């Protein structure tokens, strides 16, 4: 089978934009910056600026100052491997990610220093 340049160009575009659409649907594609350059330490000094998203891991929650007990209370069981995405854990265990996210976000907001 021979591919001419037009068909190959279309295939490349479909792969690129399909990958972006899939990444966006899974919560990995983010066009807004959190100021920290993604994972790892950034320059954030206020925890209230942090929000829980689909790409947030349990380790991220621990790094932000949430206690393991608080996390376990929100998910209703023992905390899994820290590198696990919270959203993936919720989906795998029949939990509503939005409800868990809201509980964790409330706890995270309570850690913020009072002005």
Q: Name the helix (H) or strand (E) containing 115.
A: none
Separation of alpha carbons 110 and 6, rounded Å: 56
Tokens of 7: 């068909």
Q: What is the mean pLDDT of the chain?
A: 82
Quick check: 100 and 74 in contact, CB under 8 A? yes
Residue 92 has pLDDT above 60, yes or no: yes
Residue 115 has pLDDT above 60, yes or no: no
Residue 93 has pLDDT above 90, yes or no: yes
Of 106, 112, 107, 63, nearest to 83 by C-alpha is 63
More confident residue, 39 or 87: 87
Separation of alpha carbons 67 and 45, rounded Å: 18
Residue 74 has pLDDT above 60, yes or no: yes
pLDDT band at 33 (very low <50, low <70, confident <90, very high): low
Rounded mean pLDDT, 86-101? 93
Q: Whole-model pTM? A: 0.56
Separation of alpha carbons 7 and 10, rounded Å: 5
Quick check: 57 and 63 in contact, CB under 8 A? no
Residue 45 has pLDDT above 60, yes or no: no
Q: Could you state, in order of their start, the residue ranges of all structural domains in the chain? A: 52-115
Separation of alpha carbons 115 and 112, rounded Å: 9
Return the SS3 of 19.
helix
């Amino acid at each position: 089978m021979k591919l001419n340049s037009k068909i190959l160009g279309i295939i490349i575009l479909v792969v690129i934009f399909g990958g972006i659409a899939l990444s966006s649907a899974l919560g990995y594609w983010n066009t807004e910056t959190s100021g920290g350059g993604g994972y790892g330490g950034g320059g954030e000094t206020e925890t209230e600026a942090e929000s829980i998203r689909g790409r947030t891991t349990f380790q991220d929650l621990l790094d932000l100052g949430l206690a393991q007990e608080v996390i376990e209370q929100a998910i209703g069981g023992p905390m899994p491997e820290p590198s696990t995405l919270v959203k993936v854990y919720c989906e795998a265990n029949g939990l509503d990610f939005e409800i868990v996210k809201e509980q964790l976000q409330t706890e995270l907001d309570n850690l913020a220093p009072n002005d």
